[in-house]
Amino acid sequence: MSTPPLSKAPPLPAPDHAEQLRDALRAAAFTADGCLDLLGATAYAALSRAETVPALRATRGGSPLESLVRLFLLQRPVTHERLRAALPVDVCLADGWLVRDGDELRATVDVRPYAGDGGEDWWIVSDLGCAVGGAGGIGTAPGVDRADLVLGVGGASTTLAGLTVRDAVGSALDLGTGSGVQALHASRHATRVTATDVNARALHFARLTLALSGAPEADLRQGSLFEPVGEDRYDLIVSNPPFVISPAGRFTYRDGGMRGDDLCRTLVQQSAAHLNDGGYCQLLANWQHTEGEDWRERLAGWVPRGCDAWIVQREVQDITQYAELWLRDGGDHRDDPERYAARYDAWLDEFEQRKVKGIGFGWITLRKSGSDRPAITAEEWPHPVEQPLGAHIKDWFVRQDFLRTHDDAALLEARFRLADEVVQEQVGLPGAEDPEHVVLRANRGMRRATKVDTVGAGFAGVCDGTLPAGRILDAIAQLLGEDPVILRDRTPDSIRLLVEQAFLDPVEN
């Protein structure tokens, strides 16, 4: 059998015998848990930083699992004799998963174990060297133009997967599927999954990921944004789009090719036309902080009519940090210093022309509610959150429905229960008779904290779902010697805040 030159890209693997390969990987414990057990936490974490030395030291024994880790995760050659104990070698050679390299065998793609939502053993297939970026930027696959590289699972992928609302739905769209991570998750709870990408290689990798993981085949379509799906509508749209704001569309996997944050804006604005009533669109995004504009108002203006929206900014970078991050991602720091400086300068020129002072990163969730009084919230929240967060995000929209349909009078007739794992903290000088203020702190979901007054703390503390809010306020007014009418009049806004921020749960009558 002739050996393909390693300087050229071998043909992409065929998924024809994916089940046979999957059985072999599972039998060798080449799974997320199996690799963690073999490598240990330290070496396993080093892999996420693209550091391979600890894992090489942990895989010297030559067992089937050690051979697979070296082959697929470390992308080192493995002898034919050792690999025969772990894989159906002849099938893998015929289908293109392996190539000969002298007396040894090499992988043609990265195959990375990945744990599913329900503990399933899945595998993500991507280009060699592109499973994670690491500190030195993405790798290079033999013979593949770097503009067309297909990345594997990374922090953005897992973040979006954790944010996604996982209701059982009839249809889901993964827009910009890449290696198929979001389509794979959607396959567990959507009857029909459509996955699109502008890069034909990405669609092939998505097909490999789904086949190797034992998921149903998706409807794969090539094209940009919503063009491939025509007028089709979905119950769920998820997207980890190429959101990087760059002066040139150099890399398909990250640069959308539109100016500024126009790609993310366009995706948001066009999403409503492709959502069924009650459907969700969830995406990660970058957005510009432009001189003279409030970013919250700017992004709220993206939201299409008839949609509720929750926009969360997780971090902000100044324009120099942002340019340096993505120049490093592209490997430009390893390039000629003058060329690096020219690209850096071009990035800053672009930002200067558009009066951009910073770049925000976060997530956007839309729900097609059809309401003529949409709930739109844009907020900054850089603090730790509980993942997966999908159920909490859905709950936020349910709470908006409740608040929208309850005026102050109805709110006082409603009953509430203090949410699980909410604690009260009192802050003040040691020895003081009364605290300076009281804080309610939630240990679930967004893990928020909010100051409350004596009435708010007392109200939350006795909410067990048995009494209407108005009756509780009357009792508090009697204890504090306040006018119950005045207390009823000034408290609904505080109750609304506690409901919206998930400190209080409405109880159905």
Digit-coded pLDDT (tens) for 252-278: 778 877 889 999 999 999 999 999 999
For residues 262 and 26, what is the distance between their CA atoms, to the nearest angstrom? 43
pLDDT at 8: 61
User: Average pLDDT of 424-450?
Assistant: 87
Predicted confidence band of residue 444 (pLDDT cuts 50, 70, 90):
very high
Distances, alpha carbon 179 to alpha carbons 205, 324, 399, 478, in Å:
5, 26, 35, 63
Q: How far apart, in whole angstroms, are the C-alpha atoms of residue 136 and residue 5?
A: 26
What pLDDT is stored for residue 7 in this prediction? 52
- Does the pLDDT value for residue 136 go beyond 90? no
95-109 average pLDDT score: 94
Contact 136, 334 (CB under 8 A): yes
Note the pLDDT of residue 427. 83
- Predicted confidence at residue 455, as pLDDT, reads 93
- Would the pLDDT of 286 be above 90? yes
Mean pLDDT, all residues of the chain: 92
For the cut 50, the answer to whether the pLDDT of residue 134 exceeds it is no
Q: Which pLDDT value is given to residue 125?
A: 97
Instruction: Report how far residue 119's alpha carbon sits from residue 115's, in angstroms, rounded to the nearest whole number.
Output: 6
Whether 482 has a pLDDT exceeding 90, the answer reads yes
Token pair of 291 as six digits: 């001189």
- Which amino acid belongs to residue 22? R
Which of 321-330, 360-369, 483-492 has the least mean pLDDT? 321-330
**59: number of CA atoms within 13 Å, CB side?**
30
Total number of residues shown for the chain: 509
Tell whether the model's pLDDT for residue 413 goes beyond 80. Answer: yes
Which range has the worst mean pLDDT, 101-105, 182-186, 235-239, 359-363? 101-105
In this prediction, residue 4 carries a pLDDT of 41
Largest CA distance in the chain: 93
**pLDDT more than 70, % of the chain:** 96
Listing from the earlier edge strand, what are the strands of the sheet with 78-79? 78-79, 104-107, 98-101
**pLDDT at residue 277, rounded to an integer:** 98
Q: Is the per-residue pLDDT at 135 higher than 50?
A: no
Name residue 498's amino acid.
L
Q: Is residue 165 pLDDT above 60, yes or no? A: yes
Quick one: pLDDT band at residue 99, thresholds 50, 70, 90? very high
pLDDT above 80: residue 91: yes
* pLDDT for 487 beyond 60: yes
Rounded to an integer, the average pLDDT of 94-102 is 95
Over residues 194-199, the mean pLDDT reads: 97
- Pairing state between β 449-452 and 464-468: unpaired
446 and 385 Cβ atoms separated by less than 8 Å: yes
Decide if pLDDT at 129 tops 90.
no
Res 424: pLDDT: 94
pLDDT at position 293 = 96
